[in-house]
Chains A and B, each alone.
Chain A
Amino acid sequence: MNNWRKRIILKGGTMIIEKILENKEKKRRITPVNSNRASELGHPCLRYLVYLRTKWSEKALPSISQQLIFDEGKNQEKMVIMDLMEAGFEIIEQQRTMYWDKFNLVGHIDGKVIVDGKGIPFEVKSLNPYIWETISDLKSMLNHKRWWVRKYPYQLLIYLLLANEPEGLYILKNKSSGELKEIWVRLEDHLELAEEVLKKCEEIEKCIKNQILPDRINDEEVCNFCPFAHICLPELTRPAISLEENPEILEMLEERELLKEKVERFNELDEQIKNFFKKADGDRFLLGQFLIMKKKIKRNAYTVPAQEIEMINIKKLKGGEK
């Protein structure tokens, strides 16, 4: 049981909320997977994609919290489509299934929106505010920190391939504020990604035919979320932490920690005071025992070459941190 559930119960909604959660629990199911799904093909692990086809019945059921997220996504998608319709757009081919037998590739588009007389395939994604803020185009999706966001670009490109359409549209919704963002995608600008997916389909089919399992990727970020982790049993190798014993440095760290708060306050005051005098008329001021002077200096411009640098981040561990 996760914290959201605990909080709901603590607030006294036990009977009602428990009933809803019980219902969600019953809704959890695993469906057979006989084709390569467009929504999954951007997954970084080929082994996962093969498991989806060959071991789908052994996939762990989603947790209730995951089920809530899935349902929320579906509800948000419906709401975006309603918003589009209320704004006067015509929506066609909602959830239409498309199939390409050569690659055993299947996809269900959220719909096509009629713009200037043309049906544009679209995909709705409801995102948390942080992720919503960080996405502005296909490139920012492909280079995203979160691996599941890196999956998104392939999905729409596959729909465009399947529907034989030159361009499509992502509608991104901020789950917290309700703000919307549109990202247009032209297939011809990303043919190499589309080709990558088709190659992946061929590899999956080859693995299934020859009963081969691709290698594990052993990527902590991906494996931790994998519903097949209990079958795949990934091996993780991490460099161990170094337990240091150096009383002198420890003393310095403790002192640094004490001074940190003061530095932060110093910078805050420094900024406020300087801002005040920047706006004031004149270039020399006397206040109490303090002499404040304004001076114009020339700043030389130079370019810093791109390079790999080593950053040292120091953090004092405290209990109960989120």
Chain B
Amino acid sequence: MKEEEKRENNVPVPEPDFVKGSEMDVLEEVIARSEKRLETIKKIKQVSLSITNEDDWVIINNIPYLQASGAEKIARLFGISWSNFSYSVEHLNDGHLLVICEGDFFMETRKEKLCIQAIGVRSSKDAFFSRGGKLSAKDVDIPSLYKASYTNCLANGIKRILGLRNLTIEDLKAAGLDIGKIKKITYGKEEKKEEKRNEVWDRITELGYSKEEVKKIQQEKKFKSLNELYEYLKSQKEQQNAGG
């Protein structure tokens, strides 16, 4: 029986081998590329951690944070460039300020040019600036607040472009760092709240949304808390990643 006759009589016709083969090739290539990417990210993480020392880290509520000094070392090693910084200021209801710094980060390898945007956020309410809530907004040193949001933006940009997210104490231990020598901070109730807020901002930044995108989504969805906003953005990102 000829192929046409088989189709007419609803007899299953096997797909030509070359079609199957090419699909398999594409799939394998995608898998190989993903594996290689994961391997590269792992390598970058290992190397990044290995050039830092205990002074470059701070542990807040059991989560390690890379300080600006460590981020700078890593940026120098990998050759990360930056430009186009700008600030925006939000005036909060209680008279405090939120200073947001935004900048572009680049890393041009032989194979590709990576480019991302990152933000750094610092509030005059932060325990560090308000001396644990003792100072009102007008008494906070505003240039220091700008400087902190700028250095926060640098640290976030460097971490994001290299994929240094969600680091754990175990990662630091594995890199040979002595956890006992790392500064640990525990905050009081009010300070904790502010620090938590900063943490959530940092996590939002790590997701890779620009300031405008975050603003737009918040205006549309009107989330009651920063945490709710973060959870939404995170699920959106996960969906995007699963889809593409």
Cβ-defined contact, A321 with B55, below 8 A: no
* Contact partners of A151 in chain B: CB under 8 A: none
* Interface size, chain B (Cβ < 8 Å): 45
Cβ-defined contact, B177 with A319, below 8 A: yes
Closest to A237 in B: B81
Cβ-defined contact, B51 with A317, below 8 A: yes
Cβ-defined contact, A243 with B150, below 8 A: no
Contact partner of A322 (CB less than 8 A), chosen from B49, B53, B76, is B53
Cβ-defined contact, B175 with A230, below 8 A: no
Q: Distance (Å) between the CB of A304 and the closest chain B CB?
A: 32
Q: Distance (Å) between the CB of A299 and the closest chain B CB?
A: 42
> Does B43 have its Cβ within 8 Å of any Cβ on chain A?
yes
Complex CA distance for A321 and B78, rounded to whole angstroms:
17
* Contact partners of B166 in chain A: CB under 8 A: none
A-binding segment of B2-10, B24-32, B141-149, B205-213:
B141-149
Cβ-defined contact, B110 with A242, below 8 A: yes
* Contact partners of B108 in chain A: CB under 8 A: 240
Complex CA distance for A196 and B233, rounded to whole angstroms:
56
> Does A320 have its Cβ within 8 Å of any Cβ on chain B?
yes
Chain A 1-16: CB-based contact to B (< 8 A → 1; otherwise 0): 1110010000000000
Cβ-defined contact, B55 with A320, below 8 A: no
* Contact partners of A239 in chain B: CB under 8 A: 79
> Does B191 have its Cβ within 8 Å of any Cβ on chain A?
no
Sample 25 A-B pairs with CB under 8 A, ordered by A number.
A2-B55, A3-B183, A60-B144, A60-B146, A60-B147, A229-B147, A230-B101, A230-B146, A230-B150, A233-B103, A235-B83, A235-B84, A236-B81, A236-B82, A237-B81, A240-B80, A240-B107, A241-B109, A242-B109, A317-B51, A319-B177, A320-B53, A320-B178, A321-B51, A322-B53
> Nearest 10 pairs between A and B by C-beta?
A319-B176, A240-B79, A319-B175, A235-B83, A233-B85, A230-B147, A60-B147, A230-B150, A238-B79, A317-B50
State the A residues within 8 Å of B (CB): 1-3, 6, 30, 57-61, 220, 224, 227, 229-231, 233, 235-243, 317-322
Q: Give me 14 other A-B pairs in contact (C-beta within 8 A), A1-B185, A227-B147, A243-B109 excluded.
A: A6-B183, A60-B141, A230-B146, A230-B150, A235-B83, A235-B84, A237-B81, A237-B83, A238-B80, A238-B81, A240-B107, A240-B108, A317-B50, A321-B51
